[in-house]
Amino acid sequence: MSEVSRFGHVELEDMPVDIRERLEPIVEKSGFVPNVFRALARRPRELRAFLDYHDALMDSDDGLSRAERELIVVATSGANHCTYCVVAHGAILRIRARDPEIADKVASNPYAVTLSPRERAIVDLALLIARESETLTEEDLDTARAAGLTDEEIWDVGSITALFGLSNRIAHLTALAPNPEFYLLGRQPR
Amino acid sequence: MSEVSRFGHVELEDMPVDIRERLEPIVEKSGFVPNVFRALARRPRELRAFLDYHDALMDSDDGLSRAERELIVVATSGANHCTYCVVAHGAILRIRARDPEIADKVASNPYAVTLSPRERAIVDLALLIARESETLTEEDLDTARAAGLTDEEIWDVGSITALFGLSNRIAHLTALAPNPEFYLLGRQPR
Amino acid sequence: MSEVSRFGHVELEDMPVDIRERLEPIVEKSGFVPNVFRALARRPRELRAFLDYHDALMDSDDGLSRAERELIVVATSGANHCTYCVVAHGAILRIRARDPEIADKVASNPYAVTLSPRERAIVDLALLIARESETLTEEDLDTARAAGLTDEEIWDVGSITALFGLSNRIAHLTALAPNPEFYLLGRQPR
Amino acid sequence: MSEVSRFGHVELEDMPVDIRERLEPIVEKSGFVPNVFRALARRPRELRAFLDYHDALMDSDDGLSRAERELIVVATSGANHCTYCVVAHGAILRIRARDPEIADKVASNPYAVTLSPRERAIVDLALLIARESETLTEEDLDTARAAGLTDEEIWDVGSITALFGLSNRIAHLTALAPNPEFYLLGRQPR
Amino acid sequence: MSEVSRFGHVELEDMPVDIRERLEPIVEKSGFVPNVFRALARRPRELRAFLDYHDALMDSDDGLSRAERELIVVATSGANHCTYCVVAHGAILRIRARDPEIADKVASNPYAVTLSPRERAIVDLALLIARESETLTEEDLDTARAAGLTDEEIWDVGSITALFGLSNRIAHLTALAPNPEFYLLGRQPR
Amino acid sequence: MSEVSRFGHVELEDMPVDIRERLEPIVEKSGFVPNVFRALARRPRELRAFLDYHDALMDSDDGLSRAERELIVVATSGANHCTYCVVAHGAILRIRARDPEIADKVASNPYAVTLSPRERAIVDLALLIARESETLTEEDLDTARAAGLTDEEIWDVGSITALFGLSNRIAHLTALAPNPEFYLLGRQPR
């Protein structure tokens, strides 16, 4: 087993050029290649689709803020017990929310962590979709709307939850290990 | 609420041209536009990513057969209680497996439906990943390997399960309705 | 294993005469002997009691309509993952409700299928009794009453759910296979 | 609410004569009319069917002993949290097994109570059918067979579990109260 | 295996003198040494801490009555399926509440047993903390407050539930057997 | 609500002198008063009992190592979704195990984290006792014994799990907040 994934991985220099070019800004910014990309690069078509889906949902401040989007990811990944996503997106959430404690609180107990009413509505909807989406009804959406979420924001909550439900499952399938750097990122106030 | 999705939908002629061209062969073959595309077309970037991921995993007979891939989709969607995917992919499974009964059996009870040992290993792994992926260990993969699955096939089982877990959640979020045509497809021996 | 039940079965001509006479109108109407009777006929006393209980609860339009009674059966059997009952009573529900789609919708997701308020109250009560009856309180009954159900109708909902909970368990025990005819019945508008 | 059932009840002298004659030996032996009969007598057809089913499964020492049959009832009712059946059949189990402690042990924790291997196989099968019958496979039956159960005994275990699953649900529906006499029966060694 | 615990036990005369002196009034009053003390006496430091915690929470009528405290213990132990605690504290509850039926009702079905509104609020809070404490929010406490519980009483409900959750787990770990005397205590009106 | 607990808290200087003296070495070593003590100090008798139980189980290297004892606490607290215990004991585990990643891995997914066979046996037993102790049988203990655990070590695993199950519930009840210092402790290699 490689230290990245139980199915092995691909180093940045061995990835197809379009993927390499796409990942380089991320690598430059963070200083390392997140393991999810090295593990998924064994299947370039799937990695491209994953990146496209990810960017369509996560690279935006339109409606949900970037911090709110990461909040959904950490709550979903905590409820799904996904170590990679909790550690990696926990780091991003700490940075985006400028709060060194929020990620550990949300990941360990998304059900009762103290949040603003808007954040609580976002997390409640995400948890419902992550763990028992078959029971979701119009009333559940009305609860979210009553907390101020628009239908486009509700779509975003649901789709981000669904995408990271996919991501959590692939991380479990591949025994994906977080890069050591993620554990410390965003923990010290700057 | 439109009859397609609670968030409305886009007709084929109003979709971006690249998506329209991509869907046309499907529409031609089946005689209708599957509602999942009309509902997701509200968000073209997400629809493109979904189609790319779908095609990378489903349009292949390399390793898993196409019938086995649809078997995973129907078992996952049955366990996740997703009406759209059960009805739509149930139709495709009936056709691919040339069996008018298999989809209803798998969808209603994926846990105990009688299958070949290889199919049972595929479905057991899919159900584990669909419903409690956090508990998956190397021993679970060894069980799949003992039934003859290669690591590439195991990856496919896991990724198809994860992708349709996403799909099931979006269908629940949007209250996606199956096209009436799906209910009857593949039910009569030809 | 016979193709009917893992414990074998009895053909109509070998059943006790009272049972044979009782089943003949059903066989005449449907054109075949439903497998549940062939499987249970190994134990005539139990089959007679089952038929009596069934007829007392299902052969009536007093209070709950016949379509509503079958709705309860399909919702319960879907929640209990019973292939035989989903397929056989799904056929009857399609016919009684004159709706070719209702059974697949209810069986795959009884929790969120769109129904009238009265039907939703019926199905919610049935699901509660089917899956966690120990938590049922007077408030749950008041919810049903608020949707217009009388106490006699509530008794019917509960007893039908309980009887088909029995039926679902015996179908699982015997690996009861649906007759091929059920899969198509009621699917085409007449 | 009557003290017997939330839907009222019928006294012995007001029951149809055939039911009264049938219950009289029970009443004579125990000295009181078990409340389940008074509550169900509101619906004589259902009560007759219930009595027939009950007698077909419980009044026999052929294969399973009477104590084993009551063991199934108490384990099922404990797992289903049914107060009436735990208290009433707990009394019968104490008497049949000549053991003043067995019923409280089985009802409070059917999962880990110390039993003989044959009894453990019976209770394990009953619990599987009571709580998650959809997962039952041939391997589960082989486990029961390996503990010495015949197929007829397996059928009995499954059918008794299913019948008392029905009974538990109706007791919850009707808020059925145990007769005070049951609490003490069989508790003192004679 | 001793008849008290799977890890053996210590008789009263072999216990450290401070523990012996502490237990003597209990033994004198009840006429026997409750097995929990004999089993835990293998680890005197743990037994002393357990007794201290127990007495701090249970030996008081300040706020919650002694009967209410035992009600919490029996409801928690019933939900946790702990035979020792159901039988032993069931006896104490019968005595404290002067009700020969209450313990069997609460233990078999704490979810729906008929109670006063104050008792129901106590039991609901206990069940929430016993089985899914991670979801507890301020709203749940407000529900308890609305039924008249003070914050000190809420603390008591939570701490008693938590302490007997510990006790239930140790009883399961040690396969702790109830003393025969407990089964009958408090069953006959005096 | 104080920032420590929803029921307020007591500062070190206001605690009874015996408790203050007992906590001082901890405070000196860590540089702050862990919030659990400030919250529980509202009830000195309960705090003393908790400290006694804690010390009896945690302050020892006899049998289980101190790192193994903290491993049990973090696995249990992760499975129970307890933020305070995950953050506070996660810090202690990082220090005791000299591993900056272990706590986040165990807390987020105790079910599948990679561990040595002995550690896996310890964690599996702890999870079983934390979440479904009613099903524990002698076979489960034999599995632990086969991994080399003695009966005294098994007792320790079970009792530590039970004690922190209590602790987790009280943390949820009081909405106990981790001290900010815990989040960073042990994260940097020294």
Residue B60 touches chain D, beta carbons under 8 Å: no
Which residues, given as ranges, of chain A have pLDDT below 70?
Answer: 1-2, 189-190
pLDDT exceeds 50 at position D1: no
Residue B133 touches chain A, beta carbons under 8 Å: yes
Per CB-CB distance under 8 Å, the chain E contacts of A109 are 134
**Mean pLDDT score of chain B:** 96
Cα distances (Å, whole numbers) of residue A59 to A149, A159, E138: 19, 13, 35
Per CB-CB distance under 8 Å, the chain C contacts of B183 are 100-101, 104, 187
- Per-residue confidence (pLDDT) for residue C188, from 0 to 100: 84
Closest by Cβ to C183, choosing from B77, B104, B180: B104
Count CA atoms within 13 Å of residue F86 on its CB side: 28
Chains D and E touch, using 3 or more CB pairs below 8 Å:
yes
- Per-residue confidence (pLDDT) for residue F77, from 0 to 100: 98
Q: Which residue has the tokens 């964690």?
A: F123
Dmax over CA atoms of chain D, in Å, equals: 50
Shortest CA gap E57–chain D (Å): 24
Instruction: Please say whether the beta carbons of C109 and B82 come within 8 A.
Output: yes
Per CB-CB distance under 8 Å, the chain C contacts of E109 are 134
Count CA atoms within 13 Å of residue E177 on its CB side: 16
> In this structure, what token pair is assigned to residue F88?
């506070």
Q: What is the pLDDT of residues B102-127, one digit of tens each?
A: 999 999 999 999 999 999 999 999 99
- Per-residue confidence (pLDDT) for residue F1, from 0 to 100: 47
pLDDT averages per 10-residue partition of chain C, 190 residues: 88 98 96 98 98 97 96 98 98 97 98 97 98 97 98 98 98 98 88
- Per-residue confidence (pLDDT) for residue A1, from 0 to 100: 47
3-state SS of D23-82 is HHHHHHHHCCCCHHHHHHCCCHHHHHHHHHHHHHHHCCCCCCCHHHHHHHHHHHHHHCCC
Per CB-CB distance under 8 Å, the chain E contacts of F48 are 52
Instruction: Please say whether the beta carbons of B54 and B84 come within 8 A.
Output: no
Closest by Cβ to E81, choosing from F129, F134, F154: F134
Distance separating alpha carbons of residues F55 and F40, to the nearest angstrom = 16
Per CB-CB distance under 8 Å, the chain F contacts of A3 are none
pLDDT averages per 10-residue partition of chain E, 190 residues: 88 98 96 98 98 97 96 98 98 97 98 97 98 97 98 98 98 98 88
- Per-residue confidence (pLDDT) for residue C110, from 0 to 100: 98
- Per-residue confidence (pLDDT) for residue C1, from 0 to 100: 47
Shortest CA gap C114–chain D (Å): 25
pLDDT exceeds 80 at position D190: no
**Mean pLDDT score of chain D:** 96
Q: What is the pLDDT of residues D19-47, one digit of tens each?
A: 999 999 999 999 999 999 999 999 999 99
- Per-residue confidence (pLDDT) for residue F189, from 0 to 100: 65
Distance separating alpha carbons of residues D101 and A97, to the nearest angstrom = 59
Chains D and C touch, using 3 or more CB pairs below 8 Å:
yes
Q: What is the chain B residue with the closest CA to D139? A: B112
Between helix E151-174 and helix E44-58 the angle, nearest 10°, is 150
Which residues, given as ranges, of chain F have pLDDT below 70?
Answer: 1-2, 189-190
Q: What is the pLDDT of residues E65-116, one digit of tens each?
A: 999 999 999 999 999 999 999 999 999 999 999 999 999 999 999 999 999 9
pLDDT exceeds 50 at position B1: no
Q: What is the chain A residue with the closest CA to B43? A: A56
pTM of the model: 0.97
Distance separating alpha carbons of residues D170 and E11, to the nearest angstrom = 47
Shortest CA gap B11–chain F (Å): 43
ipTM of model: 0.97
Between helix B44-58 and helix B66-79 the angle, nearest 10°, is 130
Collapse the DSSP code of B62 into the 3-class scheme (helix H, G, I; strand E, B; otherwise coil) and give the result. Answer: coil
Q: How remote is the C-alpha of A74 from its chain's centroid?
A: 6
Closest by Cβ to B53, choosing from A50, A80, A168: A50
Q: Which residue has the tokens 């009106």?
A: E189
Q: What is the chain E residue with the closest CA to A120? A: E137
> In this structure, what token pair is assigned to residue F180?
């900010």
pLDDT exceeds 50 at position D122: yes
> In this complex, do A82 and F184 lie within 8 Å of one another by their Cβ atoms?
no
**Mean pLDDT score of chain C:** 96
Residue F133 touches chain E, beta carbons under 8 Å: yes
Count CA atoms within 13 Å of residue E51 on its CB side: 19
Q: How remote is the C-alpha of B11 from its chain's centroid?
A: 22
- Per-residue confidence (pLDDT) for residue D76, from 0 to 100: 98
Give the mean pLDDT of D98-115.
97
- Per-residue confidence (pLDDT) for residue E189, from 0 to 100: 64
pLDDT exceeds 80 at position D184: yes
Q: What is the pLDDT of residues D52-66, one digit of tens each?
A: 999 999 999 899 999
Distance separating alpha carbons of residues B49 and B57, to the nearest angstrom = 12
> In this structure, what token pair is assigned to residue E69?
């405290």
> In this structure, what token pair is assigned to residue F113?
């984290």
Instruction: Please say whether the beta carbons of B189 and B100 come within 8 A.
Output: yes
**Could you tell me which residues come within 8 angstroms of residue C131 by beta carbon, excluding any fewer than 6 positions away?**
C79
Per CB-CB distance under 8 Å, the chain B contacts of A50 are 49, 53
